[in-house]
Amino acid sequence: MELFPGGHLSRRQFLAGTGAAAAGLSLIPSSTWSYEAAKLNFYNWDTYIGETTLKDFTEVSGINVKMDLFSENDELFAKLKAGNPGYDLIVPSSDYVERMILADMLMPLDNSAIPNRSNIQDSFLDVSFDPGRKFSLPYMWGTMGVGYRKSKMDSIPDSWKWLFDSDRHKGKCALLSEASDVLGAVFKYMGYSVNTKDPKIIKDAEKLLINQKPNIKVFAPDNGQDLLLSGEVDITMEWNGDILQAMEEDPDISYVVPKEGSIVWEDALAIPRGAPHPRNAHRFINFLLEAEAGAKIAEFIQYATPNMAAKQLMPANYINNPAIYPSEQTLSSCESAVYLGADVVRLYEEAWSRVLAA
Amino acid sequence: MKSARNHKLAFWLTFCPPTLWMLIFLLVPILIIGIFSFSAKQGLVDISASWVLDNYIRAFDPVYLSVFFKSIGIAALTTLICFLIGFPVAIGIASAPKSWKPVLLMIVVLPFWVNLLIRTYALIAVFRTRGFFNFSLEWVANLFGIPFEPLTLLYNDAAVILGLVYIHLPFMILPLYAGFEGFNKSLLEAASDLGAQQFKIITAIVLPIMAPSIISGCILVFIPALGSFLTPELLGGPSSQMIANVIERQFLAANDWPFGSALSMMLIYLTFGALALRYFWLRRRYFSSTENKP
Amino acid sequence: MILCCTIVFLYAPIIVLVIFSFNDSRRNVTWHGFTFKYYEKAIHNNNLIEAFLNSLSIAFFNTVFSLILGTLTALLLWRFRFSYKSVYEGIILVPIIIPEICIGIALLVFFNLCGWPNDLPWPLNLSKITCAHILFSFPFVAVIIRARLAKFNLDQEEAALDLGANHKQIFKNVLFPHLKPALIVSSLLAFTLSLDDFVITFFMSGPETTTVPIKIYSMVRFSVTPEVNAASTILLLITIVLAAIAIWIQRGWAKEVEKS
């Protein structure tokens, strides 16, 4: 097998070693798929499923689900980039769904096997990162915003200013640690779109952050809510679900989406190419989109569900919780993060390296 | 030392297995990384071996060079502290009664069988602002009626070094112990009989004999410390990134495998450079010492 | 004295870990009450048990093969002169130098290019991970054993040769006892390295081949529940028991050797 025919190390060569046959299967309509063992390899985030969901599915279908965990989109991408080690169903976030579609890493979904698709809220059925939802279906969504300790604030900190441009909470604030997340929020604070490509604006954002650095305690990779709980910081930039979990433990903690706007995220279910049990994966997706299963999941993990049928079964305090379902006004100021292309990603990463080195 | 040519069978028996392993599992992957470092990205997953120097030119940007130097500094400091702690501990274990030795070794090694991430989170629980260390200090301060401000021990470079020392201590203690074991104590007695003081005994006798173990301990701490990224990420402050964090971001978030490969190859070149320097320095010493012979 | 302080320093976080495994709080940051329920959860977590068995098997095979390869390498470098020896010495250190993420991805690409099969039965499905672990463990072993060999008194070997011993006997009765502390130390190190490795193992692992660090890493990034602490404490207890058994056997063996 030539490594560089014509100077290109293409994905096809990578796939050749790992179940290219299975990849070929994905092009055949599901009704003619060959027999699959009653197994499913599910690759998901931690605590991102209902307490009994997997058991319920096994009872209904007889398929044994094995759930493995990953903790970052880019880890998932890097691992699958060189070939699928055997996962049937993955849960990437929206901008990574986009990357995977561009890189031809996902199997198109067979809608005839997913009748519960009709349960999904209309606004989720046609999105920029997956037009017509050919490759993915929404699982959960939410916002990014500010988690804070009520007793230590002068008033509700509903602006990014307190994190990016003020020394009011010097040494007691934390930001996220991914370049795209932090820069996206800074762009919003400066009045631009989350998905800014202009190098000059990126440079200005970099200067703003370097200026603010002496006031920042730490760039927290996913554990801002723990820092808030332990009193290490009083205000942090975090995803709404994380802060919600902290709010359960400590009523003094609260969450708000800044008025300048923020990032709205969505995690989606997708089937990677080379999946050994695609038909089982379709059945599982259909199960997750049922009203009851969806409601149980939403109840346990307390994120916003795009499943209208499930939402109707949820109690009022869930539906009316602004930390889970932001108001229309808030939503209108939020944007989804999209994949901006390799050049812009490189600009973001270099700016971030400079911020960290300053 | 024997020449390979004269003892062919024995030589090849010892040479083949490790070399074969390395050829397959090390050199081929390194070759891949090397080729990546001269390549360019094509779209999201493809990489074309276009033999460009762009990645290396980028690697010489002052931002990345400063991170390199900082990482070397932190790793060196970690090695020094590990040595200062590990040396007495290794002597202690080696001097213990025979039946105690395996037990003591176990006691030293056991914490390291707890997962690294969990140990680091436990370290955080001990040393954070409202952690047990500060609680104890506060309790002591209250006993004496001294006003107490909790110490900010975490989220700065010192915390990173603390964490790195904590993790790499057995890599210093174990090789030093292996060297101490069977140390000829009569040498020490002879030296003190001849009137040498403690300090002189240590520098003139113990250290030279222990030199190979000390060097191996230092290598086994310095090199992994240089390449660590979880510790700086979890314990460090806003400015505490090390070179492995930068490389990790290139392979993951930035999806720029060629550049990440170039940075990694720089680390390899650096180490080979250091080894080459050592080789030439030793050769010069050898030649200069033979010149002095009559 | 320093030994005691060091031990306190090493164990303080571990003790905190064990105490917090009884904490009745989902996020495990502040103390909320005493409970055993996370131990129950950990024991019934089948994925965790499977990961634990995988980790132990990998660590065991890793230790055995690393010892063999590392000792051979050390003997080679100590005993023989050959061309490009210094280059060889440098290459031995390369697995330790390169950042783990780099080796991880390089091996990922490599294994996929070779078409290494993914659905072998246990324990062969752990072969990818084990090969990777051996790769970065045996240089550690080589370095430690080489340092020990440097202290070997060659006169002993000459004396044995003069007394009529052949090379095999010399190896068994002269060299091997001298190397014993280094061998024990290296096996401890190789075992530790394998048990705790995360980055390289992450890229090598698949659905059936999770190890404890990977499982814990993904659990911990989201929620440092006491279940993780409970699992670690159980793991620690099991390894203490295994180690105690090993020491006991070794002591019995040593006593027998002394008697004979």
For residue A48, give the CATH number of its domain. Answer: 3.40.190.10
Residues of C in contact with A83 (CB under 8 A): 112
Q: In this structure, are A223 and A343 located in the same domain? A: yes
Could you say which of A9, A180, A354 has the minimum Cβ distance to residue B48?
Answer: A9
**Better-scored residue on pLDDT, A290 or B4:** A290
Give pLDDT tens digits for A130-171.
888 999 999 999 999 999 999 988 888 889 998 998 888 888
Q: Hey, what amino acid is at A260? A: E
Compute the distance between CA of residue B283 and CA of residue B91 in angstroms, rounded to an integer. Answer: 32
Decide: B184 and B95 in contact? Cβ < 8 Å. no
Q: Judge whether A19 is closer than 8 Å to chain C, CB to CB.
A: yes
Question: CB distance C118–A45 less than 8 Å?
Answer: no
Of A236-240, B153-157, C122-126, give the lowest mean pLDDT range.
Answer: C122-126
Compute the distance between CA of residue A117 and CA of residue B143 in angstroms, rounded to an integer. Answer: 66
DSSP 8-class letter at A117? G
Cα dist from C118 to A63, A105, A276, C185, whole Å: 21, 18, 11, 34
**Helix/strand/coil for B149:** coil
Task: Give the distance, in angstroms, between the CA of residue A168 and the centroid of all CA atoms in the same chain.
Answer: 31
Cα dist from C241 to B112, B115, C20, C127, C247, whole Å: 15, 17, 22, 27, 10
**Helix/strand/coil for A136:** strand
B262 is written with which tokens? Answer: 């170039």
Q: Which of A62-66, B111-115, B256-260 is most confident?
A: A62-66
Closest among C217, C20, A37, C59 to B122, alpha carbons compared: C20
Q: Digits of tens for pLDDT over chain C (260 positions)?
A: 677 777 788 888 888 888 888 877 666 666 777 778 888 877 777 778 888 888 889 999 999 999 998 988 888 888 777 777 877 887 888 787 777 777 888 888 888 777 777 667 777 778 888 989 999 898 888 888 888 887 777 777 778 778 877 777 777 777 888 888 788 878 888 888 888 888 888 888 877 788 888 887 777 766 667 777 787 788 778 777 877 777 777 677 667 666 65
Q: Which helix (H) or strand (E) segment is A286 a member of? A: helix A278-288
Question: CB distance C7–B108 less than 8 Å?
Answer: yes
Q: Hey, what amino acid is at B117? A: L
Q: In this structure, are A152 and A195 located in the same domain? A: yes
pLDDT band for position A10 (cuts 50, 70, 90): very low
**What pLDDT sits at residue C173?**
76
Angle between helices B157-180 and C127-149 (to 10 degrees): 60
Contacts of C251 (CB under 8 A, 6+ apart): B99, B102
Average pLDDT for B22-31? 83
Residues of C in contact with B30 (CB under 8 A): 94, 98, 106
Any chains having at least 3 CB pairs less than 8 A from chain A are B, C
Compute the distance between CA of residue A105 and CA of residue A95 in angstroms, rounded to an integer. Answer: 14
Question: CB distance A78–B249 less than 8 Å?
Answer: no
Q: In this structure, are A33 and A127 located in the same domain? A: yes
pLDDT band for position A15 (cuts 50, 70, 90): very low
Q: In this structure, are A344 and A302 located in the same domain? A: no
Compute the distance between CA of residue B220 and CA of residue C184 in angstroms, rounded to an integer. Answer: 17
Average pLDDT for A321-340? 87
Q: In this structure, are A199 and A347 located in the same domain? A: yes
**Chain B 59-98, residues with CB within 8 Å of chain C CB atoms:** 85, 88-89, 92-93
**What pLDDT sits at residue A93?**
92
Domains of chain C, earliest start first: 51-222 (1.10.3720.10)
Burial class (CB in 10 A: 0-12, 13-18, 19+), A42: buried
Expressed as residue numbers, the domain containing A177 is 144-264+332-357
Average pLDDT for B140-148? 79
**Better-scored residue on pLDDT, B27 or A267:** A267
Q: In this structure, are A165 and A70 located in the same domain? A: no
List of E strands, chain C: 80-81
Could you say which of A16, A47, A78 has the minimum Cβ distance to residue C115?
Answer: A16
pLDDT band for position A81 (cuts 50, 70, 90): confident
Average pLDDT for B163-174? 88
Give pLDDT tens digits for A94-110.
989 999 998 899 999 99
Query: What is the architecture of the domain spanning B58-268?
Result: Orthogonal Bundle (1.10)
Give pLDDT tens digits for A289-326.
999 999 999 888 888 999 999 999 999 888 888 888 88
Provide, rounded to the nearest whole percent, the portion of chain B with pLDDT above 90: 7
Decide: B160 and B232 in contact? Cβ < 8 Å. yes
Sheet holding B46-48, edge to edge: A8-9, B46-48, B40-42
Interface test with A, best of B57, B64, B134, B155 (most A CBs within 10 A): B155
Could you say which of B25, B111, B179 has the minimum Cβ distance to residue C131?
Answer: B25
Decide: B177 and C183 in contact? Cβ < 8 Å. no
Average pLDDT for B264-277? 79
pLDDT band for position B288 (cuts 50, 70, 90): low
Average pLDDT for A262-290? 92
Q: What is the pTM of this model?
A: 0.80
Average pLDDT for B265-275? 79
Burial class (CB in 10 A: 0-12, 13-18, 19+), A167: exposed
- For residue A272, pLDDT over 90 is answered with yes
- For residue B143, pLDDT over 70 is answered with yes
pLDDT band for position A11 (cuts 50, 70, 90): very low
Split into its structural domains, chain A has a count of: 2
- For residue B165, pLDDT over 60 is answered with yes
Angle ∠(C14,C16,C21) on CA atoms, nearest 5: 95
Residues of B in contact with C89 (CB under 8 A): 275
Residue with tokens 């132990």: C56
**Chain B 174-203, residues with CB within 8 Å of chain C CB atoms:** 174-175, 177-179, 181-182
Question: CB distance B255–A9 less than 8 Å?
Answer: no
**Helix/strand/coil for C101:** helix
Compute the distance between CA of residue A45 and CA of residue C219 in angstroms, rounded to an integer. Answer: 9
**Better-scored residue on pLDDT, C253 or B130:** B130
**What pLDDT sits at residue C260?**
57
Q: Judge whether C90 is closer than 8 Å to chain A, CB to CB.
A: no
Residues of C in contact with A13 (CB under 8 A): 113
- How high does pLDDT run on average in chain A? 84
How many A/C residue pairs have CB atoms within 8 Å?
96
Question: CB distance B48–A8 less than 8 Å?
Answer: yes
Give the pairing of strands A136-149 and A263-270.
antiparallel
Q: In this structure, are A152 and A255 located in the same domain? A: yes
Compute the distance between CA of residue C87 and CA of residue C196 in angstroms, rounded to an integer. Answer: 30
B241 is written with which tokens? Answer: 């990134």
Q: Judge whether C224 is closer than 8 Å to chain A, CB to CB.
A: yes
DSSP 8-class letter at C175? I
Decide: C79 and B2 in contact? Cβ < 8 Å. yes
Q: In this structure, are A136 and A270 located in the same domain? A: yes
Q: In this structure, are A124 and A10 located in the same domain? A: yes
Compute the distance between CA of residue A352 and CA of residue A178 in angstroms, rounded to an integer. Answer: 8
Facing residues of A263 across strands? A335
Q: Judge whether A229 is closer than 8 Å to chain C, CB to CB.
A: yes
Question: CB distance A218–B238 less than 8 Å?
Answer: yes
Give pLDDT tens digits for A42-71.
999 877 888 889 999 999 999 999 888 887
Decide: C136 and C95 in contact? Cβ < 8 Å. yes
Residues of A in contact with B64 (CB under 8 A): 353
The CA distance from C183 to the nearest CA of chain A, in Å, is: 36
Question: CB distance C118–A18 less than 8 Å?
Answer: yes
Residues of A in contact with C32 (CB under 8 A): 249
How many B/C residue pairs have CB atoms within 8 Å?
267
Q: Hey, what amino acid is at A34? A: S
| Distance between start and end Cα atoms, chain C | 38
**CB atoms inside a 10 Å sphere around CB B33:** 23
Question: CB distance A230–C210 less than 8 Å?
Answer: no
Average pLDDT for A197-201? 92
Task: Give the distance, in angstroms, between the CA of residue B131 and the centroid of all CA atoms in the same chain.
Answer: 28
Could you say which of C109, C214, C223 has the minimum Cβ distance to residue A47?
Answer: C223
